[in-house]
Amino acid sequence: MTGTLPVLALALGIVLGWVVFGRLSVPGELAGLYAPYLSLATLAGLDSLLGGIRAGIEGRFQDDIFISGFVLNTLLAAALAYLGDRIGVDLFLAAVVALGGRVFLNLSLIRRYYLTKIAIARKKEGV
C-alpha cells in the first residue's frame, strides 16, 4: 500500500530519535536553548510533508521543490526565531502561524481528495 511506507518510516524515525536523543543526556539548561528551534524544525517538516503528499496526489509532485521547500522553510524559521531572540520580539510565532496555517490547509485538501475518491467509488457501486 502507498501509505505503509511513510508510516513505517515515521515510526522508525521516532524510535531511532527517541533512543539517540535519550542517550545524549543533554543538560536541561542547554536543551532549553535549542528546544524552540527543534520544535520549529518539526513544524517545518510537518508542513513540507503534508505539502508533498498534497502535491503527490494532485499529480504535480516535483522533488526539487519538495526538498528545497523543506530546507529553506526550516532555515527561514530558525533565522526568524534567532532574530526574534536577538531583538526581543517573538518572531518565531510568525513562522508557527504561517506553517501551522499551511498544515491545516494541506490537510483539508488531502481530506477532500480522499473523501471525493470514496464518494466516487460508492457511486460506481451503486450503478
Task: Catalog residues that contact another protein under the rule CB under 8 A.
Answer: 2, 5-18, 20-22, 24-29, 31-32, 34-35, 38-39, 41-42, 45-46, 48-49, 52-53, 55-59, 61, 63, 66-67, 70, 113, 116-117
Pick 3 or 87: Cβ nearer another protein: 3
Task: Convert 55-92 into a string of H (helix), E (strand) and C (coil).
Answer: HHHHCCCCHHHHHHHHHHHHHHHHHHHHHHHHHCCCCH
Pick 80 or 103: Cβ nearer another protein: 103
How distant, in Å, are the alpha carbons of 29, 45, 58 from that of 32?
Answer: 5, 21, 40
Q: Crossing angle, helix 63-87 and helix 28-58, to 10 degrees?
A: 150
Q: Compute the least distance from the CB of residue 51 to another protein, in Å.
A: 10
Q: Compute the least distance from the CB of residue 17 to another protein, in Å.
A: 3
Q: Compute the least distance from the CB of residue 80 to another protein, in Å.
A: 17
Q: How far apart are CA 6 and CA 37, in angstroms?
A: 24
Residue with cell 510565532: 93
Pick 20 or 127: Cβ nearer another protein: 20
